[in-house]
Amino acid sequence: MKQSSFLFLLLNFLLLLSYTTQAQCDTEALNNKALKSLSKGFVFLKSYKVDGKAGSRKSVEYTCVMNSDTQYALQIVSAEGNANGIIAILYDAQRTELATSNINNKFFQGWTFNCKATGVYYLVFTFKDSQDYCGGAVMGFKTK
């Protein structure tokens, strides 16, 4: 009886441990992967954690200051591969959409944006048909 109780507890512990390990979002590793795919000529600026907390967060928003006459590039990597399940949208201060990584329901790994006015911009990551709700992104820049 003692052995079967111990075995039962051990199996439950291992099951819980494997679930916890799978549920964690390793944004640092995904950011490193995204950094490797940043287009040549762009200087790394910032990394973004895109952690949907296993689906409890439907979006993740960041503010960023961008300068005029500067080109920005964003690269996205999801835990599901490529950028699947993650959409990155850039908005200006008036919440006008300026760039998106999802066109005609196709996920793209990033975009470039030519900034014409210095100011505050909003970078919003949303999840669509995502299984993992997990990813990473990096932004780079180059001046004209």
What are the structural domains of the chain?
Answer: 26-143 (2.60.120.380)
| Strand ranges in the chain using DSSP code E only, listed in sequence order | 43-51, 59-66, 70-78, 86-91, 97-100, 102-103, 106-107, 110-115, 119-127, 134-143
Three-state secondary structure call for residue 67: coil
pLDDT at 81: 82
- Give this prediction's pTM: 0.81
Strand partners, 131: none
pLDDT at 18: 40
Over its length of 144 residues, how does the chain's per-residue pLDDT go in tens digits?
555 554 444 445 544 444 444 558 999 999 999 999 999 999 999 999 999 999 999 999 999 999 999 999 999 999 988 899 999 999 999 999 999 999 999 999 999 999 999 999 999 999 999 999 999 999 999 997
Provide the 10 A C-beta neighbour count for residue 26.
12
